[in-house]
Structure 1
Amino acid sequence: MTPEELFGSQFPINKKEDYEELSRRAAILALREDESVTTTDYADVLEFELAGERYGFELEGIKEVTYLRNYIQLPYCPDFFMGIFKLRGDAVPLIDIRKFFELPGTPISDLNRIIIISDGASGIGVMADRIYEIQRIHRADIHRSLLGGGDFRDDFTVGVTSGRLIVLDAIKLLRSKKLIINITV
């Protein structure tokens, strides 16, 4: 499709040579890497919903995302601990992060997904109300100063973006002593 077909007669480039020259320049610019920006300047974040708010985990801490499966509830566990489920032969603990963060609960639906977070040695499933997308966020846009302060959730929060996405630290959550359950019956 030509520019004229896209934009009509108001398109300012009338010569085929002008169009070809601008296309060539655009191709060169697209190939050129910006040396001042590295991949470490950005975080790839899986965006999901909890109790109507937008949250995200950096991809480094995520092993996979799966559907909510049949799980086995275990007695004498905190209310945030939903139980365990089987994933490719492994028993995976499942937590309701809404209850862990003391957020309002919502009924379980077909939109719920389980985010498997792992550090390579251990892993847990974290239930999310809904999964949205993976975003590439510039690290300078993740602000720790926007946190409320004093809330225990801040221990697991990397920061908040200007778009109000709360970025969580999956590995800190996984390794939290608050998730260790010691039960003697």
Structure 2
Amino acid sequence: MNANVENNKQYVIFKLEDEFYGVPITFVETIEKVTEITRVPNSPHYVKGVINLRGEVVPVIDLRRRFQFQDKELTEESRIIVLALEDINVGFLVEGSSEVLTIEPDDIDKTTNFVNSFDDDYISGIGKVKDRMIIIVNIYKILGIEAN
């Protein structure tokens, strides 16, 4: 993991299955309301499709499917969090995204001590903010790519 990610303290918080998750704000380009998503044949089951974002084609990953949750209808609160990683943009379809939280590195427990329910270890830690628990996701593992 690069130093930029390690030193990051701000996370964009989103919701799935009544739990709160966070991605480092350093990766977040924009948060969009859900627009028309075009399906792509023969793509992995968790790829919802692609969107046209200001002239750029952006693949959208349905995090509910990626985490093997039941499908759920989109709502007014549903959002696509567009992330920039190296030279690619990708969208994460989530149930809602409403805030940015500062989480100190000392307040994030690494998950190596936990029994992880995800085969590919999509979680990099659990952040504790006041009385809340925020699951910090590993964007690279979700996308199946190696971090530089």
Please tell me the TM-score bracket, short chain as reference. Answer: 0.7 to 0.9
Shift of 1:150: 6.0
CA RMSD of superposed structures (Å):
2.0
Specify the alignment match of 2:23 in structure 1: 57
The one-letter code of the counterpart of 2:23 is: F
Aligned residues: 136
Structure 2: gaps spanning 5 or more residues: 1-5
For residues 107-138 of structure 1, give each alpha carbon's deviation from its aligned partner in whole angstroms, at most 9, with x where no partner exists: 11111000011124001111010112100011
Say whether residues 1:84 and 2:50 are aligned partners. yes
Q: 1:152 aligned to 2:111?
A: no
Structure (1/2) with the larger strand percentage: 2
Moved over 3 A (4+): 171-174
Structure 1 vs Structure 2: percent identity of aligned residues? Answer: 22
What letter is aligned with 1:138? Answer: E
1:133 aligns with 2:99: yes
The structure with the larger Rg is: 1
What letter is aligned with 1:166? Answer: I
1:75-110 residue CA offsets vs partner (Å, 9 max, x unmatched):
222221111110111111111011011123221111
Instruction: Report if the CA contact (8 A) 2:8-2:26 is conserved.
Output: no
Structure in which a larger fraction of residues adopt helix: 1
Partner of 1:104: 70
Cα distance in 2 between the residues matched to 1:87 and 1:167: 26
Question: For structure 1, which runs of at least 5 residues remain unmatched after alignment?
Answer: 1-39, 178-185
Deviation of 1:42 (Å): 5.8
> What are the superposed Cα offsets for residues 55-78 of structure 1, whole Å, 9 maximum, x if unpaired?
010101111111111111122222
Please give the residue correspondences for 1:24-39 in structure 2 after superposition, counting only pairs within 5 Å.
none
What letter matches 2:116 in structure 1? G
